[in-house]
Amino acid sequence: MNNNICEYLCSMQSFSISGQFIDLFQRRTYPAQVDVNGGIISSIKEIDSAPAQYILPGFVDAHIHIESSMLVPVSFAQVAVLHGTVATVSDPHEIANVCGMEGVQYMIDNSKLSPFKFFFGAPSCVPATGFETAGATLNATDVETLLNNKDIWYLSEMMNYPGVLYKDPEVMAKIAAAHKAGKPVDGHAPGLRGEVAATYAAAGITTDHECFTLDEALDKVKVGMRILIREGSAAKNYEALSELLRLHPEQVMFCSDDKHPDELVLNHINATVKRSLAKGYDIYDVLNAACVHPVQHYKLPVGLLRVNDPADFIVIDSPAKFNILKTFISGELVAEHGKSLLPYMRAQPINNFKALPKTVEEFAVKAVSTAPIIRVIEAVEGQLVTNELQFPAKVVDGHIVSDITNDVLKLVVVNRYEPNAKVSVAFIKNFGLTHGAIASTVGHDCHNIIAVGVDDASLCEAVNALIACQGGISVVSAPGEVAVMPLPVAGLMSLDDAYTVAAAYTNVDKKAKELGTTMHAPFMTLSFMALLVIPALKLSDKGLFDGGKFEFTSVEI
């Protein structure tokens, strides 16, 4: 870039703006003029009067998997800025499970095409467990290499909590590498309480975003952990945890974890802020959670509206309405009055897909006993945790089949990394399908193909549709009637812009709901039914898994 262009860009990022200044450090709001020079806050002057607009720091999502938006970073940024988000603490765990180190670098490289501030972590658990097949493995040496990269800011969620509790050498080596690099370690410890939570935190793990009860969160606060209140597309913990904003506001951050594209175009962290203010929580406590705490905890170079900070801030109409009028990143106006000013840039795909088409016979489950009782996964709306139920199986011609009357449907996982792997089968309740099947290659954490359906033919057709395009989501409404949304980037993300992806996802989601499901986000919920590290019962490509005992179990009792 030549000097003339540099001077031009700097002049474009030099300006003054006046409004009601929300000072999160002095905890007061007053009329002020904010001066920006070369993308940096050069001065903040209290004045006698100012326009009826409010100036405050931009929002930071304290934990998100960009991949779950089905958008590559530049496309994610394009829409996130509309909602006042200027930065994310991003865990590339999903693409790392598919493509390893190359996948992490892909996210970093793509993110640099946008002024939006992405801060990636080193995935700590690839694969998350040894009970499933992933596309890659990141050992302690790989993690240390990543942590020494200036583009890596922290060790991401340590979901192998048994490895922490029992001091597994590989797990402890990864944590030690983060401490040596001076970078924080994120937690992932659903349900851990009391002394067990204290042992987990004592390993130097400082956050957790998996709390689903207030008592659990309070136990973790007591041992010094910061709690990320999560409100995503599938996991919604805000109602259970929002009281932390009154009890321990200094320990709180906001995150979405996973946000599907149809919801991302509507809102982001701003929705949690508005909800908190509507509940009557203190505005300075709420905005510190949304803006300041992530920057301080992760030591991020994100501006907090102080002199000499990068000019990362937003302008809203009022705290009562909280409509985002403008978003600035490093002094650049990136969104204004509901319009993103960031351009769409098409990326190149990266993938790892070797599965070959399946036959209907591969989805059959032969009954062992004459009157079998089966273990059934109970999916819980708005949660990642599941329950274990037991039901008398429906048997037809010696095979256990879906029981539509009792909403006990067949769930399958197909290994995408090996051409001829055996289909893994279990049963699940609460999806509510009355016909057809849905399938996805977004299947946390290893992202094998996961599908739920009422009959083997529909399941097979839904799975084969994804094998044909090497990744995506699909709906089979009737034989030969298949809707597919391809995800060519690792089977997780689209190459299209945010609005095209949101429209495509909305269409496929609508078709899924026409099959009878009442779930708010059926594909997102489906994606977590292979997440073995969240109890109680999940399914991997290797079999039915008891997350409480951390071991395989049988479908038939």
Q: Are residues 122 and 263 in the same domain?
A: yes
Domain presence at residue 442: yes
Domain presence at residue 431: yes
Residue 2: predicted pLDDT: 38
Count of alpha carbons within 13 Å of 331, Cβ hemisphere only? 20
Cα(87)–Cα(230) distance, integer angstroms: 16
Contact 148, 181 (CB under 8 A): yes
Amino acid at 139: N
Domain presence at residue 376: yes
Amino acid at 481: E
Q: Are residues 277 and 416 in the same domain?
A: no
Q: Are residues 265 and 393 in the same domain?
A: no
Domain termination residue (choose one: 302, 325, 350): 302
Q: How far is CA 357 from the centre of its chain?
A: 29
Q: Are residues 295 and 383 in the same domain?
A: no
Domain termination residue (choose one: 284, 302, 320): 302
Q: Dihedral through CA 171, CA 176, CA 181, CA 185, nearest 10?
A: 60
Contact 512, 275 (CB under 8 A): no
Torsions phi, psi of 330, nearest 5? 50, 40
- Mean pLDDT (whole number) for 493-502: 94
Contact 213, 232 (CB under 8 A): no
Torsions phi, psi of 30, nearest 5? -155, 160
Q: Are residues 110 and 214 in the same domain?
A: yes
Q: Where does the pLDDT of residue 233 fall: very low under 50, low under 70, confident under 90, or very high at 90 and above?
A: confident
Residue 11: predicted pLDDT: 46
Partnered with residue 440 across adjacent β-strands are 450, 473
Cα(414)–Cα(421) distance, integer angstroms: 7
pLDDT, tens digit, 9 for 90 and up, residues 10-34: 445 799 999 999 999 999 999 999 9
Q: Are strands 386-392 and 472-478 parallel, antiparallel or unpaired?
A: unpaired
Instruction: Tell me what percent of the chain is helix, strand and coil, each rounded to the nearest 5.
Output: 30, 30, 40
Contact 351, 492 (CB under 8 A): no
Q: Which two tokens stand for residue 501?
A: 């992806």
Task: Kindly list the distances between the CA atom of residue 44 and the CA atoms of 41, 489, 496, in Å, as whole numbers in the listed order.
Answer: 8, 44, 40
Cα(440)–Cα(443) distance, integer angstroms: 7
Q: Are residues 395 and 283 in the same domain?
A: no
pLDDT of 382 over the 90 cut: no
Cα(299)–Cα(99) distance, integer angstroms: 28
| Residues 6 or more apart whose Cβ sits within 8 Å of residue 460 | 358, 359, 360, 362, 363
pLDDT of 1 over the 50 cut: no
Q: Which two tokens stand for residue 344?
A: 């769409």
Helical segments of 68-133, H only: 73-80, 93-111
Cα(485)–Cα(208) distance, integer angstroms: 33
Contact 437, 451 (CB under 8 A): yes
Number of domains in the chain: 2
Q: Are residues 519 and 376 in the same domain?
A: yes
- The DSSP result for 342-382, as a single string, is SPP---------------GGGG--B-SSSS-EEEEEEE-TT
Mean per-residue pLDDT of the chain:
95
Amino acid at 193: R
Q: Are residues 235 and 379 in the same domain?
A: no
Domain presence at residue 103: yes
Q: Which two tokens stand for residue 252?
A: 């709180």
Q: Are residues 126 and 206 in the same domain?
A: yes
pLDDT of 9 over the 60 cut: no
Cα(49)–Cα(348) distance, integer angstroms: 50
Domain presence at residue 121: yes
pLDDT, tens digit, 9 for 90 and up, residues 93-152: 999 999 999 999 999 999 999 999 999 999 999 998 889 999 999 999 999 999 999 999
Q: Are residues 431 and 507 in the same domain?
A: yes
pLDDT, tens digit, 9 for 90 and up, residues 304-331: 999 999 999 999 999 999 999 999 999 9
Cα(333)–Cα(342) distance, integer angstroms: 9
- CATH assignment of the domain containing 187: 3.20.20.140
- Mean pLDDT (whole number) for 445-455: 97
Boundaries of domain holding 539: 360-552
Burial of 405 (C-beta count, 10 Å sphere; 0-12/13-18/19+): exposed
Domain termination residue (choose one: 283, 302, 321): 302
- The DSSP result for 133-162, as a single string, is --S--B-HHHHHHHHTSTTEEEEEEE--HH
Domain presence at residue 353: no
Q: Are residues 374 and 245 in the same domain?
A: no
pLDDT of 256 over the 70 cut: yes
C-alpha radius of gyration, the chain, whole number:
24
Whose CA is closest to 425, among 324, 530, 521? 530
Q: Are residues 251 and 383 in the same domain?
A: no
Whose CA is closest to 449, among 481, 487, 477? 487
DSSP 288: I
Contact 335, 82 (CB under 8 A): yes
pLDDT, tens digit, 9 for 90 and up, residues 71-83: 999 999 999 999 9
- Mean pLDDT (whole number) for 163-172: 96
Domain presence at residue 10: no
Q: What percent of the chain has pLDDT over 70?
A: 98
Whole-structure pTM value: 0.93
Domain presence at residue 43: no
- The DSSP result for 181-225, as a single string, is HT--EEE--TT--HHHHHHHHHTT--EES---SHHHHHHHHHTTP
Residue 12: predicted pLDDT: 56
Contact 442, 448 (CB under 8 A): no
